[in-house]
Amino acid sequence: MKIKKAVFPVAGLGTRFLPATKAMAKEMLTVVDKPIIQYAVEEAFAAGIEQIIFVTGRGKKALEDHFDRSFELELTLEKKKKYDTLKMLQELVPKTGTIVYTRQNEPLGLGHAIWCARDIVGDEPFAVLLADDLIQSSTPVLSQMISRFDRLRASIAAVMEVEPDQTDKYGILDADEIEDNVVRVRGMIEKPKPEDAPSNLAIVGRYILTPKIFDYLGENKAGAGGEIQLTDAMGQLLKEQPIFGYKFQGTRFDCGDKAGFQMANLAFAMERPEIRGKLAKFISQMGQNFCIERK
């Protein structure tokens, strides 16, 4: 039961990022110098994933081209003797046949997007990564989760504690802690109002799921926001199989949100030695100006 396949739903409308996402998938927005989807793909390969399944909608071409070779560009870089850049570009292209594309022809929700990959996933447990949840960590979060899966042999969602007044932005768990950083789920609810939330333990965009989930996603029932929700299908699955939540090690940035996206850019840029100095100086100057303006 090795986790070999990872589904990347990239067919959302990204309405919170309009107009940037009018003609381009939100997952192609860049953090420092890489589209956010590339961070997620690198995380999946680092965790031992062998096949990437993109569920695309609009913006498919830019995403496909990003993970494909560009002979014209490579030739130009070679002529200009920019060998390091050339090597970096060649290394980002996965081996032929490792990436599979399928299409969600209507954005009916995350649950529906995952269901679109059912025939490619087949009858084996698989991972789901939402690229707009960008996580900075020393061990890739998916690797952390796969090592828990190897022991627990059941579906697992990455979870984190959120401010109690933020529960209506997440799938929220009703769960009991069974060991360090692992909870056993009793129930889950999508985007509850703070007063209805069973806890402040929120699901973020990393999952390992058993293929049984497709039976429930296939019922195509719309839930919160009129969308077919993965959380609802997981709630159904829970009646048959255990589900766990894993409190991952790392810092998560919500790149589907404008503030979260800017914070991700800052945090990832500060990790780059060639940028850090200039940026730190600029931030401190800005901080001073900001304080003066506020006085």
Q: Which stretch binds ligand UTP (CB under 6 A): 33-41, 72-80, 126-134, 275-283?
A: 126-134
The Cβ-side half-sphere exposure at 132, using a 13 Å CA radius, reads 22
Q: Which stretch binds ligand UTP (CB under 6 A): 6-14, 120-128, 166-174, 268-276?
A: 6-14
Residue 8 or 246 with smaller CB distance to ligand UTP: 8
The Cβ-side half-sphere exposure at 38, using a 13 Å CA radius, reads 21
| 26 sits near ligand UTP (criterion: CB under 6 A) | yes
Residues in contact with ligand UTP, shown as a per-residue x/- string from 254 to 273 under the rule CB under 6 A: --x-----------------
Nearest-angstrom CA–CA distance, 157 and 208: 6
Residue 252 structure tokens: 């998560």
Instruction: Pick from 107, 192, 198, 242 the residue near ligand UTP by CB under 6 A.
Output: 107
User: How would you classify the pairing of strands 5-10 and 126-129?
Assistant: parallel
State which amino acid sits at residue 180. D
In the complex, what is the shortest distance from the CB of residue 16 to ligand UTP, in angstroms, rounded to a whole number? Answer: 3
In the complex, which residue's CB is closest to ligand UTP? Answer: 12
Nearest-angstrom CA–CA distance, 253 and 204: 10
| 14 sits near ligand UTP (criterion: CB under 6 A) | yes
In the complex, what is the shortest distance from the CB of residue 119 to ligand UTP, in angstroms, rounded to a whole number? Answer: 17
| 35 sits near ligand UTP (criterion: CB under 6 A) | no
Nearest-angstrom CA–CA distance, 80 and 71: 14
- Of 74, 76, 55, which Cα lies nearest the Cα of 129? 55
Residue 270 structure tokens: 């500060």
Q: Can you give the binding site for ligand UTP, defined by CB under 6 A?
A: 9-17, 26, 55, 104, 107-110, 112-113, 130-132, 256
